[in-house]
Structure 1
Amino acid sequence: MTVRERIEELELKILSPYAAKSRNADREREELPCEFRTAFQRDRDRVIHSKSFRRLKHKTQVYISPGDHYRMRMTHSLEVAQISRTIARGLMLNEDLTEAIALAHDVGHTPFGHSGEYALQDILGQFRHNEQSLRVVEYLEKEGRGLNLTLEVKDGILNHTGDQEPITLEGCIVRAGDRIAYLCHDYDDGLRAGMLKCADLPTGVSKVLGHNPSEMITVMVADIITQSADKSEVRMSPAVRQAMDEFRQFMFAKIYHSQDLEHDRKKAKYVIHKLYEYFLANPEELPTDYREREDRWGLSTTVVDYIAGLTDQYAIHLFHHLFIPSTWGGSGSERWKKECI
């Protein structure tokens, strides 16, 4: 019996009957099984080693060009994974599947956070970061071969937000863990930035969840574990659910739609619009591997794939190179092409 087979046997013995089991994992393209890792462990490792995951360390969470101690997409994804694994362990569900979904859920996010996403929505009429994340792992990674992740992980990525619920409880955990993480940690960053004070929290939120971000996470995680134990769904108590919804409304009013951040959001959207217009008119300026994809996906989709994959700083670098005059004898007009994602 291999190490992987022992782990699969252990899952059958100790995990909840509602847990997804590694031995039942399904891939679109069949592969020889690993001797040591389960299918979900392999998925997690593929995500961690992917270029799209590495780029998350330079992509905005909420604050554009923040200081060293503010969240970026990678730290957010790591925090979602930690919160979600805690819930999965408490419910005796599959931690490896949970972690793989959590780490991959935002790999398709644009530069400049949701401002970049909204800019591409304006351009295309339809663009969602969860759908782009699925596209990244299915088609764009590994020079177009994709990561060939399990269907369970891909479903969790696609349905971590939106109207459709994930097919696994592990996916439902990440859906809840993502919301807990971004609310509490964006609140924490808001306190650090001086945009919020603990006293600003609505009474209904502070009374149920508390004021401290760590305390808030603990309350919501504990409530999910208590309310969902031995059940076929992931749920919260009505009181905590109501407090969380009120907390979310507060964060949208005070942070996500704050007028204090509107100027930077507009500038970020402008950069995205101008880059899209430029590369649509000048496709020969795209990196070679993207130009080769045009026949398969069409020019507009290829340009969107390129722009969505950029980090914040590289998008700004491109904009500066393409639209801002520079002194003669600068760093060279070809260098930026060689630094493509």
Structure 2
Amino acid sequence: MKVRERIEEQEFKILSKYAAKSREAVRDREEPFCDFRTAFQRDRDRIIHSKAFRRLKHKTQVYISPGDHYRMRMTHSLEVAQISRTIARGLRLNEDLTEAIAVGHDVGHTPFGHAGEYALRELIGHYNHNEQSLRVVEHLERGGQGLNLTAEVRDGILTHTGDNKPFTLEGNIVRSGDRIAYLCHDYDDGIRAGMLQPQDLPASVSKVLGSDPSTMITVMVSDIITESDEKNEIIMSRKVKAAMDDFREFMFKKIYHSTELEPDRKKAKYVISKLFEYYISNPSSLPQEFLEREERWGLQTVVIDYIAGLTDLYAIKQFEKLFIPATWAVR
């Protein structure tokens, strides 16, 4: 018996009846099985080894051009994976599927975080990073061939945010884990930046969740495991869910929509809009691999794919190269 087959057999013996099973995973394109890794393990590995995932280390979470100790999209994705795997393990659900969705959920995020996302949305009328994440893994990676991920992972990536819910419990775990991670870690970074103090939290939040990021995570994760155990849904208790909702409202007011960060958000949106205008007018300046896709996808989509894939630093460098006069050394 191959290692993969043994793992697949163990899943049916150990995991909850509600867990997704690797043996039942479906891909759009059939391919030979791996002797050692399950389908979901291979998906996780493909995402982690992708260029899009590597670029996340230089993409903003909240603070543009932050110091070394602030979160970026890659650290956020890894933190979502850790939180989500803890929940999956507690509920005897499929950790490998959960991790694959978590590490892939933000690979389509723009430079400059949600400021970049909003800029593209204003330019073309519709843009969501979860949809772009799916596009990255389906069409853009591997030179336009995509990663051929399982339907379970692709669905979890697409539905980690928005109105539609994932069809697996593992996807629903990541949906909750993402929110827990960004609220607690952005709160932690807010304290680091001097924008928040623990005593600023509403009493409805601190009395239920505490005021330390680690404690907050523990309370919410523990509550999900307790409330969802042996159920075919991922839920929170009414008390903890209400506190989490109040926490989210607080964070949007104090951090995500704060006037203090608005100047940087405006600058980021300006950079994105100018790059978009330039490449639409000068498509020959795009890398060759993107030019080759124009006939299939159209110029606007190709330009969006290119800009969305840029890191913060590279977007700034391109802006400087295209719009800032060069400084000439005195001879």
Q: Does the pair score TM above 0.5?
A: yes
Aligned equivalents of 1:285, 1:94: Cα separation in 2: 45
1:334 — aligned with what?
A: none
1:53-72 alignment to 2 at 5 Å? Answer: 53-72=53-72
Aligned equivalents of 2:3, 2:311: Cα separation in 1: 39
TM-score by length of 1: 0.96
Aligned equivalents of 1:124, 1:167: Cα separation in 2: 30
1:144-293 alignment to 2 at 5 Å? Answer: 144-293=144-293
Aligned equivalents of 2:244, 2:117: Cα separation in 1: 24
| Paired letter, 2:248 | R
| Paired letter, 1:240 | V
TM-score by length of 2: 0.99
Aligned equivalents of 1:73, 1:159: Cα separation in 2: 18
Aligned equivalents of 1:80, 1:124: Cα separation in 2: 30
Identity %: 75
1:1-341 alignment to 2 at 5 Å? Answer: 1-328=1-328
| Paired letter, 1:104 | G
| Paired letter, 1:87 | I
| Paired letter, 1:217 | I
TM-align CA RMSD:
0.9
| Paired letter, 1:106 | D
Aligned equivalents of 1:289, 1:328: Cα separation in 2: 33
| Paired letter, 1:103 | V
| Paired letter, 1:26 | V
Cα distance, 1:329 vs structure 2: 7.9
Residues 113-136 of structure 1, C-alpha deviations (whole Å, 9 max, x = no match): 000000000001100000000000
Aligned equivalents of 2:189, 2:72: Cα separation in 1: 11
- Residue 77 of structure 1 aligns to a residue in which SS? helix
Cα distance, 1:327 vs structure 2: 3.0
Aligned equivalents of 2:51, 2:278: Cα separation in 1: 25
Cα distance, 1:328 vs structure 2: 4.5
Q: Give the 4+ runs in structure 1 shifted more than 4 A.
A: none
Aligned equivalents of 2:327, 2:268: Cα separation in 1: 25
| Paired letter, 2:197 | K
- Residue 260 of structure 2 aligns to a residue in which SS? helix
Residues 309-334 of structure 1, C-alpha deviations (whole Å, 9 max, x = no match): 0000000000000000003489xxxx
Aligned equivalents of 2:327, 2:215: Cα separation in 1: 53
Residues 216-255 of structure 1, C-alpha deviations (whole Å, 9 max, x = no match): 0000000000000000000000000000000000000000
- Structure 1: where are the runs of 5+ without partners? 331-341
Aligned equivalents of 2:180, 2:273: Cα separation in 1: 31
Aligned equivalents of 1:235, 1:31: Cα separation in 2: 36
Aligned equivalents of 1:125, 1:168: Cα separation in 2: 30
Cα distance, 1:51 vs structure 2: 0.1
| Paired letter, 2:23 | R
Aligned equivalents of 1:231, 1:26: Cα separation in 2: 24
Aligned equivalents of 2:274, 2:102: Cα separation in 1: 32
Aligned equivalents of 1:104, 1:181: Cα separation in 2: 15
Cα distance, 1:277 vs structure 2: 0.1
